[in-house]
């Protein structure tokens, strides 16, 4: 039987002069599918060690990723980090599961949040 809780998309984002671990926690079982995304501030040393260990870099794009026949794209929320604002997408196919960030302005963020898009929780103090 598969584990009901796993880590989905996970990557290191360098936003300005700060690093963040962007991670999706997936909880799935019969009748339940919960998959929030969190941001966790890391030190530069922690980010470097995680990258050396194989964690991917977060992708930054200028426009929203588009789903294809083989790639699923899901808007996970709005991220406020280091004075910048992003839409966070989970992009997934049989080979990858990664977060994609698209920079937006405050008005766009407010419109998304008003329409029900979640705010991504960020733990701002490194562990």
Digits of tens for pLDDT over the chain (127 positions)? 678 999 999 999 999 999 999 999 999 999 999 999 999 999 999 999 999 999 999 999 999 999 999 999 999 999 999 999 999 999 999 888 999 999 999 999 999 999 999 999 999 998 8
- CA dihedral (67, 69, 70, 74) positive or negative: positive
Listed by start position, the domains of the chain span: 5-123
Q: How many CB atoms lie within 10 A of CB 108?
A: 14
């Amino acid at each position: 039987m598969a584990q009901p809780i796993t880590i989905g998309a996970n990557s290191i984002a360098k936003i300005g002069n700060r690093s963040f671990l962007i991670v999706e926690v997936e909880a799935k079982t019969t009748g339940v599918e919960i998959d929030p995304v969190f941001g966790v501030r890391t030190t530069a040393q922690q980010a470097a060690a995680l990258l050396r260990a194989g964690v991917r870099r977060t992708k930054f794009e200028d426009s929203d990723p588009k789903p294809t026949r083989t790639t699923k794209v899901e808007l996970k929320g709005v991220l406020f980090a280091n004075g910048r604002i992003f839409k966070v997408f989970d992009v997934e196919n049989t080979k990858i599961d990664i977060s994609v960030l698209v920079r937006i302005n405050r008005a766009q963020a407010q419109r998304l949040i008003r329409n029900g898009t979640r705010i991504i929780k960020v733990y701002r103090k490194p562990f």
